Amino acid sequence: MHLILLGPVIRCLEAMIKYLTLWKKEGQEEPYVSLTRKKMLINGEEVMIEWEVGHSIRTLAMHRNAYKRMSQIQAFLGSVPQLTYQLYVTLISAEVPLGRAVLMVFSLISVTYGATLCNMLAIQIKYDEYKIRLGLLEVLCITIWRTLEITSRLLILVLFSATLKLKAVPFLLLNFLIILFEPWVKFWRSGAQMPNNIEKNFSQVGTLTVLISITVLYAGINFSCWSALQLKLADRDLVEKGQNWGHMGLHYSVRLVENVIMVLVFKFFGVKVLLNYCHSLIALQLIIAYLISIGFMLLFFQYLHPLRSLFTHNIMDYLHCVCCHQHSRGRVENLEPSFDPEERQSIV
């Protein structure tokens, strides 16, 4: 809707007018202000921060947030297809001209920036009542995680496609359709009503158009990397605000299995003309790169997440609880036959 309503042009003009207005009123207080309250973690303790925000500043912040989201959309809808296509051409032609190399580098930077921004936006949306600050180390960890994840994933997709040619299309299309219809299947199974207050003056057709556009974008992002957000079409905010470890674990587990399958297809059926290097070495390097990206992801959530102290269970706690639950369940099953009904009734 931002693009359809000429958002970039209109928002840019309005922002310029607001800046000029604020510049002329320099030194004067804005007559209309609103109070903003946020929580902030200082030395492990929650501190409530309150400050006044003028209407002009709030409007500029709204435009800034819109452009941040648009940069994410531009990165994935523009740079991912471009980077994938250039990688495919490079493999087929077995040469890397300087212009193509520069284009691929800039496309990779754009995609990595979009994925990093997606992580930051996900944290801000899930913890809206907190004021969040990401340091240089946190941003660096996210950037390395996303760079390795996207690069290895796209290279595996390109090698798989170059190996099977048109035979790879059904597999890739089925993969995309599963991601696309997953939110709608959950919405249908929940029996919830379609939200009618996503945007003012939107009809049912307009709301459905917005939901379809968002699910297509969601599927496009998840096809190349984890989107960091889970869609919830029954909610007005359209996203799941809880820290869903199960969804994240399922996504990376399925993607790892898919990547291993595609790499094995390339290893055993790949055409030698594509590359002059050992296929086994390439396959091993790609899987290791994807595993390293998962390691940086676990590192971020375990130690570098700005609000990790708010997690009910962290990564290690979750794995420990799962192992303890299985171990305790096995012990209960082994000890259960030793009680007869009278003894069990007395214990209860």
pLDDT at 10: 78
Distances (CA, A) of 69 to 181, 212, 224, 301, 332: 23, 17, 18, 23, 50
Residues with Cβ < 8 Å from 196, sequence gap 6 or more? 202, 204, 207
pLDDT at 348: 30
pLDDT at 3: 60
pLDDT at 143: 92
- Which pair of tokens denotes residue 306? 């700005």
Distance between CA atoms of 231 and 122, rounded to whole angstroms? 11
Residue-level pLDDT, tens digit, the chain, 348 residues: 556 666 677 778 888 887 787 777 765 655 666 667 676 666 666 667 766 677 777 777 777 777 777 777 777 778 888 999 999 888 888 788 899 999 999 999 988 888 888 888 888 888 877 778 888 999 999 999 999 999 999 999 999 998 888 899 999 999 999 999 998 988 888 877 776 655 655 677 777 887 888 888 888 888 888 888 888 887 777 888 777 788 888 899 999 999 999 999 988 887 665 556 778 888 899 999 999 999 999 999 888 888 787 776 666 766 666 566 555 555 544 444 444 444 333 333
Amino acid 273 reads V
For 245, what's the count of Cα atoms within 13 Å in the CB-facing half-sphere?
14
pLDDT at 33: 64
pLDDT at 258: 94
pLDDT at 280: 85
Amino acid 114 reads G
CB atoms within 10 A of CB 242: 11
Name the strand (E) or helix (H) holding 245. helix 245-269
Distance between CA atoms of 113 and 142, rounded to whole angstroms? 10
User: Domains of the chain: which residue ranges?
Assistant: 1-24+31-307
Cα-based angle 288, 112, 156 (whole degrees, multiple of 5):
40
Distance between CA atoms of 42 and 57, rounded to whole angstroms? 26
- Which pair of tokens denotes residue 21? 């207005």
Task: Give DSSP secondary structure letters for 115-149.
Answer: HHHHHHHHHHHHTTTB-----HHHHHHHHHHHHHH
Closest CA to 68 of 114, 106, 112: 114
pLDDT at 341: 42
DSSP assigned state of 130: B
pLDDT at 27: 55
Distances (CA, A) of 133 to 60, 95, 125: 20, 43, 14
pLDDT at 257: 94
Q: Which residue carries 């209960």 as its tokens?
A: 332
Closest CA to 131 of 242, 40, 62: 40
Residues with Cβ < 8 Å from 108, sequence gap 6 or more? 79, 83, 147, 150, 151
